Amino acid sequence: MKKLFFKGLRDGIPIALGYLSVSFGFGILCINLGLSVAAAVGISLTNLTSAGQVAGVGIIAAGGTLLEMVLTQLVINIRYSLFAISLSQKLDVNFTTPHRIAAAFGITDEIFAVSYAQCDEPDEEKSLKPTYMYGVILISATGWVSGTFLGATLGQILPESVSAAMGIMLYSMFLAICVPPARKDRGILVAVIAAAMCSILFNTVLTFVSGGFAVIISAVLSAALCAVLFPIAEEEEAA
C-alpha cells in the first residue's frame, strides 16, 4: 500500500508543478478582487477546480447570490461527475464508500487522466487502489494550494505592473486548454467563439445581468448551439 501511495505522489509531481504556476495567478486574482490571503487559500483547499474558483470569486466580489454560485458551480463542474462515473468502472474492491467520497473531492481533469491511465499500465493490476489516488491528489492539491498562497502573498508586495502580468497566467491556461482541440474540431471552435461572444455581450451591453448568471447563460447557449449544429450520431454515442 505504501508503495502505491508513493507511486501516486511521484506520478502527481508534474500535475503539482503545473498547478503551482497556474494557481499563482489565482492567488493574485483573489487579492485584486479584495479577498484576503486566508480566503484565497481557503477557497483552494475546499474547492479544487480552477474554472470554478475563478467564476466563484468573481461572484463573491460582485456580491452575487447563493443561487448564482450554486448554478455556476453546477454548470462548470458537472463534468467531474462524469469523470467519477468513468473511474468507478476501474475501482478496486477495497474502494469502499468512504474512500469513494474522499477521492471524489480530488478529481480534476489531470488527476482523472493520470489515475485512469494507471489501470492501463502493463505492469499494474487493472484496478485503481485508493492509496494510489490519495498520493496523486495529495501532491496535486499541495501544489495548487501552495501556488495560491504564494500568489496571494506576493500579489500584495509585487509592483502593480508585475502583478497584473502574472495575473493573466490563469487565463493563459484556459486558452491552452481550448485552442488545441478547437483547431481539430469545428464544433469546439464554434462553442468557444459563441461563449466568448456571449461573454462580450454581457460585459458591454447586457450589463444588468450579474457575472454568475452571465457565465451560466453563455455556457448553456453555446452548448445548445453546438448541439443543434453538430449533433453526435447515435452510433458515436454508443461507442
Q: Say what the pLDDT of residue 234 is.
A: 52
Using N-to-C axis directions, what is the helix angle for 186-204 and 169-184, rounded to 10°?
140
> With a threshold of 0.75, does the pTM exceed it?
no
Q: How far apart are CA 133 and CA 140, in angstroms?
A: 11
Q: Say what the pLDDT of residue 166 is.
A: 63
Q: Give the pLDDT of the chain (239 residues) as one tens digit per residue.
A: 688 889 989 988 988 988 888 888 889 888 888 899 999 999 999 988 888 898 889 888 888 888 888 888 887 888 788 788 888 888 888 888 899 888 888 888 888 888 887 765 555 556 788 899 999 999 999 999 999 999 899 877 777 666 666 656 666 666 766 777 778 788 888 888 888 898 888 888 887 776 667 777 887 888 888 888 887 665 454 45
Q: How far apart are CA 234 and CA 34, in angstroms?
A: 48
Nine-digit cell at 209?
445581468
Using N-to-C axis directions, what is the helix angle for 211-229 and 186-204, rounded to 10°?
150
DSSP 161-172: HHHHHHHTHHHH
